[in-house]
Structure 1
């Protein structure tokens, strides 16, 4: 038994343990995938697939316009080719389905290695290390982003954030350079990561403030150079008409920050804490002023100029982008529980002296960044993926502390209860599941509870439209991308904010009168009008007015200028052909 225990404790610290955990997770996910289906999960996954297909079919690398949306102009997109690269490579090597299965699972591998690196750097005991590698499925926002067919950009962002932290808590210049490179890739993929990248820069500043190694210039220099190379290399000449991607103003601010950070150590009074704090504060003020001057309106929320119609009927209904007070009880509790695990885990580790002897600063840096990510998730729910990944080490410490105590209880029933409590209280899954029944009493995904009465229990197979001659389709946002993915049709609009006019017109048609809808249909030259009565966005459109266009379509009594083109049996899908 002693020998086995010793071997187990040695094995859990090796890279082979990471591979074993990843392989077990991958096998289970692939085994259950036939029950879940072999199609992309949501509209963003469909769009990512369409983007890679278009590239492989000959569309220019720098051109990510979706020309099958609102043809012939197409839809301008802000997405990065960085996320397309692994998908395209595996599609060429193994085919489309294999790529859709493997790419999300492969993103999990560097996440697990980063978790291992964090826990080894903080010298976790073997049981805590094992828990940290195994408990990821108990964090409700994490597993779905690494599941087969989930190919949007959220997993790469979360992985890059986690790798940045693993590098941040190390002490070498090369780790700072690598951290800057990962941070650059992160903000090139999505500008939403910029606040947390700023936090990383601030934490490198904290290291300098407390007299640690001068790593801030190396991080900022790498960030400035890599962000410039990746931005121009994956997008070509930067389009300054939009605020949703890295702009020359961002890049110049990064460069200025790197230059100032390199000069600071040579300024007077840098041998004193007060002098270092004054220099860092002045640097922050200068960079903020520079960013404001260079970026203008783009220095604030890129969604600030969103059309009110889109804000009310689209953007304000996307749960993943909303703050905690707009979330269902189960999601809200999951976010709060995650922050609680970070705080309690750090406090317990501090009280037990686990992070003394040179590990106090790395643990504090991890704690502060995890706390920042948790706070960010209260404003933008999807940032909870990053927060929950960063909470795993703290949860692992708590579980490793309480689980042995629970297992040491002699009586079977108390031992079982204590064991379940040790697992349930140190992860957010069970608390979130406990309050999930309350979700039925509040809005879901922006749909008021009374709108749920309109929905039906069966879904819609948009692939049936492939039997119709190709044409321009008007369909609500949630189903439009699947139509593109499964057929040769084009669509009027999809939910991508740069293209506000066709999006607004689609919403005006669906929520307005039949006569207003006809005018829009004629203006765009629509061939087919498609609606899925069981879709949540359709249910929401129907609440606008009892006699609006969406209600007329779902009722099966369309206006005279529409004729049924396809009516699948046992489905709420309605397909109408526009009479000329």
Structure 2
């Protein structure tokens, strides 16, 4: 039976190669119009990798050219910088100036291998051999894979997805092989260390091990091993990522003493519970609830700021006018109005996966434990996705193994049964499980309503993309280092492609820089001039297609935004950009 659970090198390589070729072909075909590094986080990540290779310290997470001239502390983990920097170091002798391009192709395509493998292993465990090929192929037909594992993607989300799948797979296998709980605990600690976006999946995994122990006392070994490995890996994550002087400084937006204490208490609680002779389900449930309540109370009493969440200490104006307007933080029903195709394409596979879970819980009592663990994690991921659409990056990959099991079952029935019913059932299972197929159907439906279709098209998108092409920064890159005021969404690319420093990029820890940027563009121009003077800003660079320049928030009649729209900027802003250039650059005259 052990051999039946192997993915196999040839199927894995075939599906990886097929997907990689498609991704590379897409990137090359759009290279003239779509920046390879499009997302601001990917640009900032590569900037941090450059700084790390240039000698910036492991514990020095300040982006010294951001919030100029003061610098801004980032909340990201070196655990992503290290492998990317190592790969870039190895690529530079062979590729020279093109090493960055080689990196942004190689890194996400390398991560595609464990994505396919983990999905297939979990599909095999849930659906048997018939689910192997669907498990390998569904990841390639997912919109999340198209975004998070495509060339140009350097941010940490792909690694978080892999760790979420590893947690879930280990949790399911640990029901029969308790030592796999160690892997789940290590993955959970690593996921929290890299970014707290993984917190809901980590919390769901903790609940899964706890409830599995409540259901049957023989899960005490897995409970203990998960708790101890989770606590230890989180402590190691804190030690490697935060200097000792800041271990007790509370932070809700990154690995900190707050999360380390929670992990330690979880580990201690699971250890004690595993050792107690609690013989009945009600007694174990009561003991677990008491232990959980004590752990939560101790964390809140020690670090009460955790109740306010990762943005709890931010300026209320920024929360209302910036953070709350981030499109990926919108609930699913709000996102549907502006991007129905994407929302449907990520929601349908997850709902399909949940339906498969429910069916198997009812119809396969011998496998009920595995499906209950799987269903708990997937349900929590789905609920979080309803509240914030960006959580689809977790929910959709986690749903793929269940969808693969469905396709495998319908295929098995089709080849054994005559008639059109089984054929239609198999085709329907594929259509409901593959986000790319759902997106194609959704696009056709939206196109049938031209008025609505036109309303969902952003006419400024090509202009924004042209501003983020490397060529747009060529002239600026040739100038000696200066301090530049840019729109917030232009800051990361300015840092990547030029030697200059900027006031803001879209990172909440740079609160003062973001506030000053909003005030410069939207407040009275003379107050904006005072901000430039205080920071020693020599240049102002804008992308006219960006929403910040077109009036993202309320602005005064004498603001930069208003004066630029009217073509009446003051004389102390002297344009120095070439005619037709994507970026407009102004020197700040005395």
Which residue, out of 110, 113, 122, partners 1:109?
Answer: 113
What 5-or-longer segments of structure 2 have no aligned partner? 93-99
Equivalent residues in 2 for 1:432-471 (5 A)?
A: 432-435=439-442, 437=446, 459-460=466-467, 461-471=472-482
Query: What are the Cα deviations for residues 432-487 of structure 1, in whole angstroms up to 9, with x where unaligned?
Result: 4544549998999xxx9899689958722233322334311100011111111111
RMSD (Å) for aligned C-alpha atoms: 3.1
Distance in 1 between the 2:402 and 2:516 partners?
Answer: 48
Cα distance change of structure 1 residues 208 and 463 upon mapping to structure 2, 3 Å threshold = same
Q: Which stretch of the first structure deviates more once superposed, 193-202 or 251-260? A: 251-260
Which residue, out of 426, 432, 435, partners 1:425?
Answer: 432
- Specify the SS of the correspondent of 1:122: helix
Equivalent residues in 2 for 1:335-484 (5 A)?
A: 335-350=346-361, 353=363, 355-357=364-366, 359-402=367-410, 421-435=428-442, 437=446, 459-460=466-467, 461-484=472-495
Cα distance change of structure 1 residues 118 and 542 upon mapping to structure 2, 3 Å threshold = closer
Which residue, out of 536, 546, 561, partners 1:535?
Answer: 546
Which residue, out of 273, 295, 301, partners 1:287?
Answer: 295
Cα distance change of structure 1 residues 512 and 443 upon mapping to structure 2, 3 Å threshold = farther
> How many pairs does the alignment contain?
561
Distance in 1 between the 2:369 and 2:485 partners?
Answer: 56
Distance in 2 between the 1:293 and 1:262 partners?
Answer: 22
In structure 2, the partner of 1:234 is 241
Whether 1:184 and 2:175 are equivalent positions in the alignment is no
Deviation of residue 409 (structure 1)?
A: 8.4
- Specify the SS of the correspondent of 1:550: helix
Distance in 1 between the 2:386 and 2:279 partners?
Answer: 39
In structure 2, the partner of 1:3 is none
In structure 2, the partner of 1:97 is 101
Cα distance change of structure 1 residues 118 and 241 upon mapping to structure 2, 3 Å threshold = closer
Query: What are the Cα deviations for residues 202-245 of structure 1, in whole angstroms up to 9, with x where unaligned?
Result: 11011111114211121111111111112211332236164312
Which residue, out of 124, 127, 130, partners 2:128?
Answer: 124
Whether 1:16 and 2:14 are equivalent positions in the alignment is no
Distance in 2 between the 1:379 and 1:187 partners?
Answer: 20
Which residue, out of 255, 259, 263, partners 1:250?
Answer: 259
Deviation of residue 334 (structure 1)?
A: 3.6
Cα pair 1:454 1:533 within 8 Å, conserved: no
- Specify the SS of the correspondent of 1:558: coil
Cα distance change of structure 1 residues 30 and 253 upon mapping to structure 2, 3 Å threshold = same
In structure 2, the partner of 1:576 is 586
In structure 1, the partner of 2:147 is 144
Cα pair 2:119 2:165 within 8 Å, conserved: yes
Deviation of residue 515 (structure 1)?
A: 2.4
Cα pair 2:5 2:129 within 8 Å, conserved: no
Deviation of residue 85 (structure 1)?
A: 1.5
Which residue, out of 38, 62, 77, partners 2:59?
Answer: 62
Cα distance change of structure 1 residues 213 and 404 upon mapping to structure 2, 3 Å threshold = closer
Distance in 1 between the 2:483 and 2:466 partners?
Answer: 22
Query: What are the Cα deviations for residues 379-422 of structure 1, in whole angstroms up to 9, with x where unaligned?
Result: 222221111011112222333344577898889xx999887644
Whether 1:47 and 2:55 are equivalent positions in the alignment is no
Query: What are the Cα deviations for residues 480-531 of structure 1, in whole angstroms up to 9, with x where unaligned?
Result: 1111111111111212111211210100111223223222222222111111
Cα pair 1:339 1:371 within 8 Å, conserved: no
Cα pair 2:116 2:136 within 8 Å, conserved: yes
What 5-or-longer segments of structure 1 have no aligned partner? 1-8
Cα distance change of structure 1 residues 332 and 442 upon mapping to structure 2, 3 Å threshold = farther
Using CA pairs under 8 Å that are at least 6 residues apart, name the structure with larger relative contact order, 1 or 2: 2
Distance in 2 between the 1:304 and 1:56 partners?
Answer: 34
Cα distance change of structure 1 residues 265 and 469 upon mapping to structure 2, 3 Å threshold = closer
Whether 1:34 and 2:28 are equivalent positions in the alignment is yes
Cα distance change of structure 1 residues 66 and 392 upon mapping to structure 2, 3 Å threshold = same
Cα distance change of structure 1 residues 241 and 167 upon mapping to structure 2, 3 Å threshold = closer
Whether 1:168 and 2:174 are equivalent positions in the alignment is no
Which residue, out of 210, 214, 224, partners 1:209?
Answer: 214
Deviation of residue 12 (structure 1)?
A: 8.4
Cα distance change of structure 1 residues 453 and 365 upon mapping to structure 2, 3 Å threshold = closer
Cα pair 2:238 2:257 within 8 Å, conserved: no
Cα pair 1:90 1:98 within 8 Å, conserved: no
Distance in 2 between the 1:48 and 1:511 partners?
Answer: 29
Cα pair 2:185 2:229 within 8 Å, conserved: yes
In structure 2, the partner of 1:304 is 312
- Specify the SS of the correspondent of 2:298: helix
- Specify the SS of the correspondent of 1:25: helix
Distance in 2 between the 1:509 and 1:311 partners?
Answer: 18
In structure 1, the partner of 2:97 is none
Higher helix content, 1 or 2: 2
Normalising by structure 1, what TM-score?
Answer: 0.88
Cα pair 1:335 1:374 within 8 Å, conserved: no
Cα distance change of structure 1 residues 514 and 281 upon mapping to structure 2, 3 Å threshold = same
Whether 1:326 and 2:326 are equivalent positions in the alignment is no
Cα pair 2:572 2:588 within 8 Å, conserved: yes
Cα distance change of structure 1 residues 450 and 120 upon mapping to structure 2, 3 Å threshold = closer
Q: Which stretch of the first structure deviates more once superposed, 210-219 or 471-480? A: 210-219
Distance in 2 between the 1:480 and 1:390 partners?
Answer: 33
Normalising by structure 2, what TM-score?
Answer: 0.87
Cα pair 1:349 1:397 within 8 Å, conserved: no
